[in-house]
Amino acid sequence: MIETDVLIIGSGIGGLSTAIKIAEARPDLSITVLTKTIEGESNTRYAQGGVAAVWDVEVDSYSKHKEDTLDAGDGLCDENIVDIVVSEGPDRVQDIIDWGARFDKKKDASEYDLAREGGHSEKRILHYKDLTGWEMQRAVMAKTDEFPNITIYEHYFAIDLITQHHLGHSVTRLKQDIQCYGSYALNKKNNVIETILARVTVVATGGAGQVYRATTNPVIASGDGIAMAYRAKGWTENMEFVQFHPTSLYHPGGDNPVFLVSEAVRGFGGILKTKEGEEFMQKYDERKSLAPRDIVARAIDNEMKIRGEDCMYLDCRHLNHEDFVAHFPTIYDKCKSIGIDPMKDMIPVAPACHYMCGGIKVDDLGQTSIQRMYAVGECTSTGLHGANRLASNSLLEAMVFAHRIAADVLPKIDQWSIQKGIPDWNAGGTTDPKEMVLITQSIKELKEIMSSYVGIVRSNVRLKRALDRLELLYHETEEIYNTTTISPQLCELRNLITIAYLITRSARLRKESRGLHYTTDYPEKAGFLQANVI
């Protein structure tokens, strides 16, 4: 059994920033961070484009950033949250700069080289080449190392949150009735499930992109935090809004995750075209290739279906070679590695699952519907993104809410104590290696169901078929779960099935097309706005 003052599940920008803020203010508090692989492996490090913040106040403003965010969110953003993130964002970016993050500057090094991405009216994206997430992850990891009261446990897989249910008490979904006391976690090094108790728990587990066949998310993005919160009877919100990045590198039989061709390439001047070299975005939006991601993804998807083709193309041949390589060295090298020279060839691209705009419902301080439990980052629904995330707002959101969570936890934590009497995990069943083939096949089947029926374009018939097949997968998987020893793969399968259910169920509840959710049965927006809470 491990006891700690603060338990943080996840080691990306949200989790580690929260740890740093608390550790800095209270050296006497013990802070435990769990990561199911190694410290540096998170959704954060795969972010290419950058972090959006109002930096050049002579041409940009909070009101412009707010309007761009609201426009992308298609009417479902919480304006108060947008105000908070936009106005507090620059200070949080300055924090990570102070921690050592290196953002690109102009050639004379006088000021930051701000970029523009789709949906942004001004240049406000701070970036580090096309490896911004990697650089920000490096900076927070280095800063974390300065605090002896932060302990990071690698290869610990959080299985479930601990609530009073584990004490034999019945709980309801009412906020005042449920408390979180920590988590059960599988130590992957010795296969022992440990009880980790905490005065306060922060879920920072990232996204759930692995629920789809093609995704830019790392293999660890299996929605663990959202699924755990739902099983603990916490509220989730707006799960139907899954953002598909318009331009993943199309490479048949290629990588998992698929390689992302950053939206910043379009901001830099890349133009979407057919294989014949004809532009097509003007048919869908006056902003053409710089339209918000939901519009661009649907446009590419539609052109692929109309033409019976597997991809469209991003034309960068007209761009300056030296500048392109300087800004996008990773993208350039990746293309060259598969025989594509972006300066001579158009880059084949196709949409891929990229970001969850919904998740664990939290308030403006990052509190969930469960007491003593907070959440931060992509696993949350804060109200910032609404029906569609504006490019490069996610890293900003994580840093702002990490700061706000720490500010709320610090004056409260002394009121809470470690819960006593928590039982050890009661594992059942025996290991049967033959069952692993059932798990891997079920994961493949799940990805096919979601990609075929709950993708960019949906319909009532497709959603019903998905739910029917998900129910069968759920029962089959629960039978395995109850009769075999716990494994990370089995836990991820259970979590992905939960995520798939929440996405599909939420999609069926929304009788309109809005933002990232498009259904052929309800192609128009409804006259009312409503968040889907499950």
- Let me know whether 42 and 175 are in one domain: yes
Predicted confidence (pLDDT) per residue in 61-77, tens digit: 999 999 999 999 999 99
Residue 524 lies in a domain: no
Catalytic residue among 138, 293, 505, 510: 293
> Which residue would you say has higher pLDDT here, 499 or 259?
499
Q: What's the token pair of residue 2?
A: 């491990």
Contact 123, 115 (CB under 8 A): yes
Q: Across residues 271-295, what is the average pLDDT? A: 91
Task: Establish if 426 belongs to a structural domain.
Answer: no
Taking a C-beta distance cutoff of 8 angstroms, is the pair 357, 514 a contact?
A: no
Provide mean pLDDT across the span 246-263. Answer: 86
Once rounded to an integer, what is the mean pLDDT over residues 48-73?
Answer: 92
pLDDT in tens, 471-499: 999 999 999 888 888 889 999 999 999 99
The CATH number of the domain holding residue 342 is 3.90.700.10
pLDDT at 391 over 60: yes
In a domain, 534, yes or no: no
Per-residue confidence band for 453, with pLDDT thresholds at 50, 70 and 90: very high
Taking CA 376 as the corner, what is the angle to CA 88 and CA 57, rounded to the nearest 5 degrees? 20
Query: What are the pLDDT digits (tens) for 157-179?
Result: 999 999 987 666 665 655 458 99
Together in a domain, 132 and 19:
yes
Query: DSSP secondary-structure letter at 391?
Result: T
* pLDDT band at residue 46 under the 50/70/90 scheme: low
Among candidate residues 300, 326, 352, the one where a domain is terminated = 352
20 and 114 together in one domain: yes
Task: Tell whether 50 and 142 lie within a shared domain.
Answer: yes
What per-residue confidence (pLDDT) applies to 430?
A: 44
Q: Is the same domain home to 141 and 166?
A: yes
Q: What phi, psi does 306 have (nearest 5°)? A: -60, -40
Does residue 207 fall inside a structural domain? yes
DSSP string, 442-479: HHHHHHHHHHHHSSSEE-HHHHHHHHHHHHHHHHHHHH
Is residue 347 in a domain?
yes
pLDDT on residue 429: 45
What pLDDT score does 168 carry?
64
Residue 209, CA atoms < 13 Å, CB-side half-sphere: 25
Ranking 24-28, 47-51, 126-130, 348-352 by mean pLDDT, the lowest is: 47-51
Domain enclosing residue 174, as ranges: 2-240+357-415
Across the chain, what does the average pLDDT equal?
Answer: 91
Peptide bond into 257 cis (omega under 30): yes
Identify whether residues 63 and 24 lie together within a single domain: yes
Confidence of residue 290 (pLDDT cuts 50, 70, 90): confident
Residues 6+ apart with CB under 8 A from 423: 166, 167, 195
Q: Are residues 214 and 330 in the same domain?
A: no
Under the banding of pLDDT at 50, 70 and 90, the label for residue 451 is very high
Residue 390 CB-half CA count within 13 A: 33
* pLDDT tens digit sequence for 516-530: 999 999 999 887 777
pLDDT digits (tens, 9 = 90+) for 498-511: 999 999 999 999 99
Domain of 388: which CATH number?
Answer: 3.50.50.60
Q: Are residues 107 and 12 in the same domain?
A: yes
Residues present in the chain in total: 534
Mean pLDDT of 228-256: 91
261 and 174, same domain (yes or no): no
Supply the pTM of this predicted model.
0.90
pLDDT of 261 > 70? The answer is: yes
- Residues 34 and 174 reside in one and the same domain: yes
293 flagged as catalytic:
yes
Query: Do 60 and 42 have their domain in common?
Result: yes
Residue that finishes a domain, picked among 352, 373, 388: 352
Specify if 57 maps to a domain: yes
Share of the chain above pLDDT 90, in %: 75
Q: Look at residues 331, 352, 373 and tell me which one is the last residue of a structural domain.
A: 352
Calpha distance 504→519 (Å, rounded): 12
CATH number assigned to the domain comprising residue 465:
1.20.58.100
Q: How many domains does the chain have?
A: 3
In a domain, 423, yes or no: no
Domain for residue 126, yes or no? yes
Q: What contacts 520, CB < 8 A, 6 or more positions away?
A: 457, 458, 459
Confidence at residue 83, expressed as pLDDT on a 0 to 100 scale: 98
Whole-number Å distance between alpha carbons of 242 and 506:
11
Mean pLDDT, residues 31-46: 80
Please check whether residues 205 and 263 belong to one and the same domain.
no
